[in-house]
Structure 1
Amino acid sequence: MVFGLPALSGVLLYVSSGGQGDRHHVPSLSRGGGGKGSERYRLTVPQALLDGQYTLVKDLSQTMDDSLAGERNGRNEHNMKTVGGQYTATSGEGQQTLMAAGSYGEIDDPHHALDSTFRGMNENEGVTVTTPTKEITPPGAQEPLTCEVYAYVRSGQSGSIAVCGWSDRSTVATVSVLNGSLDLDELAMKTSRIRGEMRVRVDQGAH
């Protein structure tokens, strides 16, 4: 049984359906990021991302973490805690909404964790993958990302969304921009920066 970690797709579908998404289907967090050795991290929900380009309008951490009740430990992930946020572009980005969500704790196999994330994301009702997952390492980045594009139909709404994610020994997360570009290289660059803003190094053994 795959341990259920909240994936960004669940948040996206929750938002696109006006807050009436499937709370019972919480997919787990592909390839990408093998981690940075023994370094450990936790995930945060900053008030702004990308040098203030996006500001936090809704912290979804409590709702998402509550969905993990009784499922914080699995074969591959242990002592997991979940955070997530909904952001809006401050200027020059139209009505773009950026979603960032992930879990942190102890992860035995980061590749497996992120593989199961995208698999769970793609198994959501109404989701069709239009650009299969591929690994992208943005210029200057030390760790790769896994990205894809999927189309969705939900509660009378439809669209396409690009999503990128990462995993390491203690975090697994996804980022996407609604009503944004489907250019995966562009999103990977943003996600690489967001990873640096959300992920905070902690002392060995801390959670």
Structure 2
Amino acid sequence: MTMPPLPSPPDASGTSQQSYTDPETDGPVGRRRGRRTVLIVAVSVAGLLAAGFGVRWMASGPDEYRLSMPDSLLGGSYQRSEDEPPNSEDDAPMGPSGTAAGKVTRVAARYERRSAGTREVLMVTGAYGRFTTPHDRSRTALLSGASAPTDAQAPVPPKDITPPGSDITVSCQVLTRPGDEDARVAMPMCAWSDRNTMALVALVTPDGPQPAPEGIDLDRLAAMTLQVRSEARQPAG
């Protein structure tokens, strides 16, 4: 497979927003809101993985690949945050959906990119093992689980995207969740699945004006997701 060139990260607001200090938030306005938003994403997807989400796996046999969360992603433009999401690595059973009483390993990591007063948060939440569910069904399960909370809306429903130059299809959608002061935070996300690995990649811009969900470039995020896959998916052993 020939990977397409890494695109520049999606521009979430279209303009550079300068942050300022608010004594009531102990830092740039929206910082706490951003932390809460990212935590919601992590808990939602980690909870989905813990429940099993209808994905089947094999209990025995060697894994060919695993997921390893590096210190940076996307060519070093996103740095891993010290503020890790819950259950950043957990080999507890995901649920009763396995073909036998086996285990898979869950992984989750948070990355940040800061530029010109803006902050982008990249969440990667997934698992590795020996999966037997068809890839399209696994991708659908990941996206469905992320949108399961009753306060989530999907203004841009799931669609399959195969980036140019790739033979791998990912599924993408845009969710919105309530933030502070009745504002909704846009959460574009894409999911991949293969025999040994699956993950959901969400990109959040928690500070400043939110983009119109319909204007978010999911083709670009799909290409970024495959680049995350190429950097995090490593041979087992």
TM-score, normalised by the number of residues in structure 1: 0.73
- C-alpha distance in 1, partners of 2:162/2:88? 28
- C-alpha distance in 1, partners of 2:40/2:226? 30
For residue 89 of structure 1, what is the aligned residue in structure 2? 113
Amino acid at match of 2:231: E
Counterparts in 2 of 1:124 and 1:62: CA distance versus 1, 3 Å: closer
- 2:186 match: secondary structure: strand
TM-superposition CA deviations, 1:119-173 (whole Å, max 9, x none) = 1111113111111111111122221111011111157562111101100111110
| Partner residue of 1:143 out of 149, 164, 168 | 168
Unaligned runs of 5+ in 2: 1-32, 54-61
Task: Output aligned runs, 1:14-53, within 5 Å.
Answer: 15-17=35-37, 19=39, 26-28=47-49, 40-53=64-77
For residue 196 of structure 1, what is the aligned residue in structure 2? 230
| Partner residue of 1:75 out of 98, 110, 132 | 98
Length, aligned pairs only: 182
- C-alpha distance in 2, partners of 1:14/1:73? 34
For residue 124 of structure 1, what is the aligned residue in structure 2? 149
Counterparts in 2 of 1:63 and 1:39: CA distance versus 1, 3 Å: closer
TM-superposition CA deviations, 1:30-74 (whole Å, max 9, x none) = xxxxxxxx98210011111111111101374772445x7443662
- C-alpha distance in 2, partners of 1:114/1:52? 26
- C-alpha distance in 2, partners of 1:18/1:192? 21
Larger strand fraction of residues = 1
Counterparts in 2 of 1:142 and 1:19: CA distance versus 1, 3 Å: closer
Deviation above 4 Å: which 4+ runs of structure 1? 17-25, 154-157
The structure having more radius of gyration, on CA atoms, is 2
Amino acid at match of 1:117: L
For residue 132 of structure 2, what is the aligned residue in structure 1? 108
Unaligned runs of 5+ in 1: 1-12, 30-37
